[in-house]
Amino acid sequence: MMSPPACSMDGQSVVEEIAEYLSRDLPYQLSSDDVFITCGCTQAIDVSVAMLARPDANILLPRPGFPIYELCAAFRQVEVRHYDLLPEKGWEVDLDAVEALADQNTVALVIINPGNPCGNVYTYDHLEKIAQTAKRIGTIVIADEVYGHLAFGTNPFVPMGVFGFTVPVITLGSLSKRWIVPGWRLGWFVTTDPSATFKKPKVVERIKKYFDLLGGPATFIQAAVPHIINQTEESFFKKTIDNLRLTSDICCKEIEEIPCIFCPHKPEGSMAMMVKLNISLLEDISNDIDFCFKLAKEESVIILPGTAVGLKDWLRITFAADPSALVEGLKRIKAFCQRHARKCLKQY
């Protein structure tokens, strides 16, 4: 049987502390029975897909999105159906597409908020529409909130669990982003489900038995969680948000000076953004993958081709970097684009 969660010196267990932490933003109280500890959010993703896998099952994933979902679904033989995020609408979910894709075998709708790789933060109203759509098509929502609270634009972070009375929600998260400790590998899989859909005996039993098979994070890391959550000062979070706001502004400003790259929506959260690559302005670049390989070779700057996250001829740029290093990297991208620009554009 799986070992019980470690406790801090005051006796508070990691699951109790995470339940209390997440409940601060919800209109209902979570209990320790709702919380399961994972080795980072990646394991939480795998568990969520494994729990829902069955013959002929399909899962609705965002495009662009986080590729681990596709890998987990393929391993579990769950069909993937992609719905688009709409750049012209701040990367909102194409809800019409979601309804068109869903059928009686759809087991979950995945959303990532704040968004990776797009840097979007969904409004309360849009999340409510997502919840209503999921209810209408008869599926649950997997809410990937690993970047929870890393919002620095006009939209505040709203957890999907707020709409748990409308639709059952599995909330995924971790310490890695908000507390900047990715190497600790402590995440959570949480049933934010006040209507108790997941409380059916067979469902609870299946979840608990699956977690009995998994190795959790080291107990000394678990024991530190109550201290981390309760004693991290607000100034730490504020500094992180201020830094991300600054570096995202730097990204947007520098990108405006690169003719072949266009940012359709200024990031409002997380640590990355998607920009459109205009291949027609470049002389000897065939696609986004070619662009990234040649950029790495010629300028020692590494960014992710959009194809890797589901959008051909787009680029994913991470702005979680030292401002001076970020400026230098973007200037190298500009020089690279100028060097490869079609002859009629080189004067720019």
Taking only the tens place, the pLDDT of each residue in 5-39 is 555 445 568 999 999 999 999 999 999 999 999 99
pTM of the model: 0.94
Low-confidence ranges of the chain (pLDDT < 50): 1-3, 8-9, 348
Number of other residues whose CB lies within 10 A of the CB of residue 19: 19
d(Cα 311, Cα 305) in Å, to the nearest integer?
A: 8
Fold designation for 235-340: Aspartate Aminotransferase, domain 1 (3.90.1150)
pLDDT value of residue 345: 53
pLDDT value of residue 9: 45
Instruction: Please state the separation of Cα 117 from the chain's center in Å.
Output: 7
Taking only the tens place, the pLDDT of each residue in 282-312 is 999 999 999 999 999 999 999 999 999 999 9
pLDDT value of residue 344: 61
Could you state, in order of their start, the residue ranges of all structural domains in the chain? Answer: 14-231, 235-340
Q: Could you tell me which CATH number the domain at 14-231 has?
A: 3.40.640.10
pLDDT value of residue 205: 83
Cα angle: 181, vertex 184, 190; to 5 degrees: 95
